[in-house]
Amino acid sequence: MHEFEYVAPRSLADAVAVLSRLNGQAKPLAGGTDLIDQMRMGRYQPGTVVDLKKIPELVRLELSSAGLRLGAAVPCRVINEHPAIASDYSALKDSTHIIGGIQIQNRASVGGNLCNSGPAADSSPSLIALGAVCVVTGPKGTRDVPVEQFCTGPGKNVLQPGELLVELKFPSPAANSGSAYERFIPRYEMDIAVVGVGASVTLDAAGETIISARIGLGAVGPTPIDATSAAALLVGKSATRETLELAAEAARGLATPIDDMRGTVEFRKHATGVLVRRVLETAIQRAKGLA
Amino acid sequence: MAKKQVVSATINGNATEFLCEPRQTLLEALRDNLDLTGTKEGCSNGNCGACTVLLDGHPVVSCLVLAMEAEGAEVTTIEGIAPSEGLDPIQQAFLENAALQCGICTPGFIVATKALLDTNPSPTENEVRFALANNLCRCTGYDKIVRAVLDAAERRKASV
Ligand SMILES: Cc1cc2nc3c(=O)[nH]c(=O)nc-3n(C[C@H](O)[C@H](O)[C@H](O)COP(=O)(O)OP(=O)(O)OC[C@H]3O[C@@H](n4cnc5c(N)ncnc54)[C@H](O)[C@@H]3O)c2cc1C
Ligand code: FES
Ligand code: FES
């Protein structure tokens, strides 16, 4: 690897100070599972690497009546082993359980997954489905960015030089709600999503009518897609297969994938529809407490 | 050359101080600076698992960890698995089940297996395969490795 300095600030203020002083010449390090490889390949050559894992706000996982606050550098294993996340934020558990293998999950963070801003990142559709908000801090202060507005292109996002992602805030789950994430890959694990879908659904007290829904799509556009118009078709309808097919069809229309070695445009669009239906079915089962 | 830095860590139970460059990975520091060459380099990009070590008890790929990140941490490498006499039951099970041919993947598999069995002493075959998905072997076809891990679980239970 190229030569660089390593610093591990112990406070958010110190991290922002060093990142803004170096003005774009420094790169934050969370789990390093993207960054270290990218530095080895010469894609990034930051003069300084700023390890975020000693900053309390970045490694905190806090559940309260207000919802979930997930520090940007918390590794996937800590997330997917948390019982309350499995029950209340199932899509997040699903995502963090399939990123890499165990060795990767012990390091890789959801914040790093999002900040790397790959179109196929496995956590992004779940973050959209769960209505996450990104807390971004920089030299000019702190701002909230809805997660669906965070990525702006492959490898690109709204972070300005000197800014970093501190945490993700999730609303507490509504009664009778459930969520799920699934991806299509040609093998069981250790691969990049050909299509990834996250969804959350809230049912009425009888468990029959859909009150609200969110759907996030991955790997079928330059950024993760918030399929709001597809999810809107579900509202007020009974949770039947016909209803879910409506949303699946609409989501197929929102997908703008590319052809590559992992799948053609045609296949990716088709798989988007299939996965949207399946993931909605799982989310509904979970909303009913059946899965 | 960027200034070398001192890192203090507990490596295989021993308080250790070593010098490294910030750009060195933990894998490079273990092999090149500390002569702990049991940890192998395969892909150097996180996919093969040959470089697996335990960092504070959890398996990680040391090619994707900076040596500087080990400051204050506990690191266990394959050299720290065997007792002072003989072999660990996991190693014995790998030997007797012929779970290796060329052997370059073996240290990584054994370290990953140790982490698995420490948290889940009686894994199912599926759980074993899932836990070892980040370790590649180009020789054995995996079946003997999976059998060795299941056998190791039995041996560990028998020895307590
Ligand atoms: C073998 C292997 C398998 C993988 N499998 C998958 C998979 O199945 N699915 C998947 O989606 N990904 C996968 N990945 C990619 C990677 O593991 C994930 O993207 C991971 O979540 C990145 O998180 P990290 O903490 O390691 O990020 P890092 O590598 O530390 O950082 C990633 C990028 O984000 C920046 N960054 C990190 N944190 C912040 C922050 N708080 N604020 C601002 N910028 C920040 C860094 O500067 C860097 O540019 C895999 C990688 C490997 C090596
Ligand atoms: S050498 Fe580290 S995973 Fe292959
Ligand atoms: S024994 Fe040769 S790679 Fe596994």
| Domain containing residue A26: CATH number | 3.30.43.10
* Smallest-distance ligand from the CA of A96: 1
Whether residues A42 and A107 fall in one domain: no
Q: Is B7 on the interface with A (CB under 8 A)?
A: no
Q: Is B60 on the interface with A (CB under 8 A)?
A: yes
**Is residue B44 in contact with ligand 2, taking CB distance under 6 Å?**
yes
Whether residues A182 and A247 fall in one domain: yes
Query: What is the band of B74 on the pLDDT scale with cuts at 50, 70, 90?
Result: very high
A247-260 pLDDT per residue, tens: 999 999 999 999 98
Residue A188 confidence (pLDDT) above 80: no
| Residue B148 phi, psi dihedral angles, 5° rounding | -65, -40
**Is residue B150 in contact with ligand 3, taking CB distance under 6 Å?**
no
Q: What residues make up the domain containing A126?
A: 66-171
Q: In CATH, what number does B5-80 get?
A: 3.10.20.30
Instruction: Return the closest-CA partner of residue B114 out of B32, B75, B62, B57.
Output: B57
Whether residues A126 and A149 fall in one domain: yes
Query: What is the band of A23 on the pLDDT scale with cuts at 50, 70, 90?
Result: confident
**Is residue B105 in contact with ligand 3, taking CB distance under 6 Å?**
yes
- Assign B155 to helix, strand or coil: helix
Residue A262 pLDDT: 85
Q: What is the ipTM of this complex?
A: 0.96
Q: Which residues contact B43 (CB under 8 A, 6 or more apart)?
A: B50, B63
Whether residues A211 and A269 fall in one domain: yes
Q: Looking at the partner chain, which of B23, B71, B134 has a beta carbon nearest the beta carbon of A101? A: B134
Query: What is the band of A14 on the pLDDT scale with cuts at 50, 70, 90?
Result: very high
Query: Among the CATH numbers 3.40.50.970, 1.10.150.120, 3.40.50.2000, 3.40.640.10, which is that of B89-159?
Result: 1.10.150.120
Whether residues A205 and A221 fall in one domain: yes
Residue B155 confidence (pLDDT) above 90: yes
Tell me whether residue A59 is in a domain: no
Q: Looking at the partner chain, which of A3, A5, A103 has a beta carbon nearest the beta carbon of B49? A: A103
Tell me whether residue A139 is in a domain: yes
Domain of A280, CATH number, reads 3.30.390.50
Residue A157 confidence (pLDDT) above 80: yes
Contact A33 B49 (CB under 8 A): no
Whether residues A115 and A207 fall in one domain: no
* Smallest-distance ligand from the CA of B101: 3
- Assign B145 to helix, strand or coil: helix
